[in-house]
Structure 1
């Protein structure tokens, strides 16, 4: 019989990411910023990584693997984590992401664009960034100024969300799906070389993208195992 931890690993990992994001953000909003200190820029990178973790958690919820067998809990966690990432709306992301899996790298794929990096990113942004999000971000920015220094808000709340958006797009959409793929590549997806540390740092193993499309029921923290299996290193 599985232990409680084994049964609820996805939820525990999601809560750890949520807690780390909220705790560090709260600390950094109160922190005295020094632009001469390398710790400031390291803090921005760590917050960027945690923002990426929020979205990856929401993504896993779309596949029902944060809380397997509990659709309601998956939706709740997905809604919270997507919302904390610049007010993304889970109910809007969910159908678009499943269209991506169903029609990968075709005209019906909302994530796909045949142009260069910048045109592709603009197409991607039009699909997922809404006026309501921008207004909510602007309103929250002005509200946060009542309690926190402007430089802290920009450095640790706004900039990491923007950087994480580019990170998710580059490693999770552009790199895996750009260019031509072999006819027998049914997922029209490439994959990063096997380097688990870099794969985690770059995008929570989503550079192992063929593996994700091949087995979308695997949570992000198991993708490295599938990479090992396909590489003959299991």
Structure 2
């Protein structure tokens, strides 16, 4: 096991708030625009917009995740928590308190059977993805999504709701699972208690794959770093840990 460099927490100021505002604002603005966008399956832009909205949905979760670690507004814990609640609610009506508890368990027991994100004995991708969804999707969420869909359907076309609101939400769970759980935690690890690995150093690919969440070893080693500071941490660990 390599000894990772020491990276001390550094003041964030309002940068976490600006990052959260940018992600949540872009997600909301994009969704509002797309819910009234002329729907046509022959329009190539439709598929581009689905991918964009999926990425923004993932950013909503990453914002909630940073709030769980207290790095959206570290000097204002109540505001930090409030933003976390909003972001988790926007992400298919997740419960911030439940998500926070499970995520801290994930860090405490990473890559073990006490880890709520870990597979239930079958590490195959689809089985693990199913157990991941089962862990985080509740009946209450499904009901709230159904009620919200039927209310929004009064105003917006159902096709737009399905394609630009529901499908990106589902695809983002795949994105988060694949880049933030499956790839970093699959197989054997030799760096307990972190039990995580990072993707190859490439900031452009890391951002578009999952907001640098693929730099997962760094996240577990330095959980006090917001997502936008993980690239610098990855550059430092790359000097001692091979890709």
Residues 1:64 and 2:89 aligned together: no
Partner of 1:122 in structure 2? 130
- Alpha carbon RMSD of aligned pairs, Å? 1.2
**Do structure 1's residue 206 and structure 2's residue 209 form an aligned pair?**
no
Counterpart for residue 45 of structure 2: 39
SS at structure 2 position matched to 1:108: coil
**Distance in 1 separating the partners of 2:42 and 2:129:** 32
1:7-42 alpha-carbon deviations (Å, 9 max, x no partner): 200001101111101111000101101211210000
How far 1:232 moved relative to its partner? Answer: 3.6
TM-score by length of 1: 0.94
Show structure 2 runs of 5+ residues with no match: 1-11
Correspondence list, 1:138-177, <5 A: 138-177=146-185
1:189 aligns with 2:196: yes
For residues 14-71 of structure 1, what are the alpha-carbon distances to aligned partners after superposition, in whole Å with 9 as ceiling and x for unaligned?
Answer: 0111110111100010110121121000000000000000000000000000111322
**Structure with the larger RCO, 1 or 2 (CA within 8 Å, 6+ apart):** 2
Query: Structure 1: which 5+ runs fail to align?
Result: 1-5
In 1, distance between residues paired with 2:132 and 2:192?
A: 23
Candidates 63, 73, 76, aligned match of 2:79? 73
Alignment pair present for 1:17 and 2:17: no
- What TM-score results when the alignment is normalised by the length of structure 2? 0.91
Q: Which moved more, 1:115-124 or 1:92-101?
A: 115-124
Which of the residues 96, 106, 117 maps onto 1:90?
96
Q: How many pairs are equivalent?
A: 227
Give the structure with the larger helix fraction.
Answer: 1
